[in-house]
Amino acid sequence: MAKIDELLRMLVSQQGSDLHIKYGEPPIYRIHGQLVRTSLPVMTADDTKMLLYEILNEERRQKFEQTHQMDLSYSIPGVSRFRVNVFKQKNAVGAVLRVIPLLVKTIDELALPQIMKKVSMLPRGLVLVTGPTGSGKSTSLAAMIDFINESRSCHIITIEDPIEFLHRDKKACVNQREVGIDTHSFAGALKHVMRQNPDIILVGEMRDLETISLAITAAETGHLVMATLHTADAAQTVDRIIDVFPPAQQQQVRLQLSTTLQAIFSQTLLPRTDGKGRMVGYEVLICTPALRAIIREGKTHQIYSAIQSGGKYGMVTLDSCLKDYFLKGQVTMEDAMAKSSNPIEFERMIMKV
């Protein structure tokens, strides 16, 4: 059986994004969004355990055997870093290992909207990057942090689970804290972050009511807070944040969000027609006075039309972005419709061209 490092080197050499380890299957790679089974032997439960325990020290093995799941990072010098989730399934050990490139790509290299640069330079407020799992949220946030690091003399604190991209100090001073190693939880770290004199706070994921509440408070008190959420578009993001709170608090949260929210970047990945990897489809919401009023008054159904008419502020709907890609021949109609928030309306939009 191949060693874990050999499998990961093969993954990187084939430009894959993930390695899936599961008993009863050979190692499986995700390459340009598609799962590809390797020609290696099918793994037994003993094989998967032996393979994955190579990257767990004694302390982590004991913790995993108690909790049956674990997040960690792993690196192979000169090859890449990897985000690892080890778990139990059918009483056997399984895992997914994701590639984290050694170099942080820039906003331009990732072909992200240029408005991200302007938003990165804001002095305060809440900036959210949203999308489904595996849509490149962490990569986009890392690009924004790198842009700040290149441009501003400031103090950046990141709270991540686990730490993915490593940022070296440039103009900024960057401190990266890992949940489970440097702090017990996102909420626990956020409670004390004010005493660490931050200018920018990155929250790897806003998972629960307490973390969301503390992130909004930090944005209210004059910090730029950047975070991710697993939501598909801007309107859903606003609703998700408000719905986390008890009904009695929701009007107050709407008011807080209407004053602190600066931007929402929702994204998804779709395959390129030339076969050279994937590209980012994105939706951009920038908080104008009109959008702040929509959020404050709970009229989230009006957000989509506000984005449609907000082009001069840098706003763009996902469907408009996908239409642009399709008309340039960069993605297929089938893939664009699969990622569209409204496939019927999207098809109608294309037919008018």
* Local structure of 228: helix, strand or coil: strand
Query: In percent, how much of the chain has pLDDT > 70?
Result: 100
Region 191-200: what's the mean pLDDT?
Answer: 92
pLDDT digits (tens, 9 = 90+) for 203-248: 999 989 999 999 999 999 999 999 999 999 999 999 999 999 999 9
pLDDT of residue 32: 87
Q: How far is CA 129 from CA 20, 133, 171, 199, in A?
A: 26, 12, 24, 19
CA–CA gap between residue 313 and residue 243 (Å, rounded): 28
| Predicted pLDDT of residue 259 | 97
CB 134 within 8 A of CB 303: no
β pairing state of 16-21 and 92-100: antiparallel
Calculate the average pLDDT of the chain: 94
Segments making up each domain of the chain, as ranges: 4-100, 115-316
Average of per-residue pLDDT across 128-152: 95
Asked whether the predicted pLDDT for residue 2 surpasses 80, the reply is no
- What token pair was written down for 292? 């702040």
Q: What is the pLDDT of residue 1?
A: 61
pLDDT in tens, 252-278: 999 999 999 999 999 999 999 998 889
For residue 76, count other CB atoms closer than 10 A to its CB.
14
**CATH assignment of 115-316, among 3.40.50.2020, 3.40.50.300, 3.40.50.720, 3.20.20.70:** 3.40.50.300
For helices 4-13 and 45-53, give the axis angle rounded to 10 degrees: 80
The CATH classification number of 4-100 equals: 3.30.450.90
Amino acid at 179: V
- Write out pLDDT tens, residues 78-122: 899 999 999 999 999 999 999 998 889 999 999 999 999 999 999
User: What confidence tens digit (pLDDT) does each residue in 27-54 have?
Assistant: 999 998 899 999 999 999 999 999 999 9
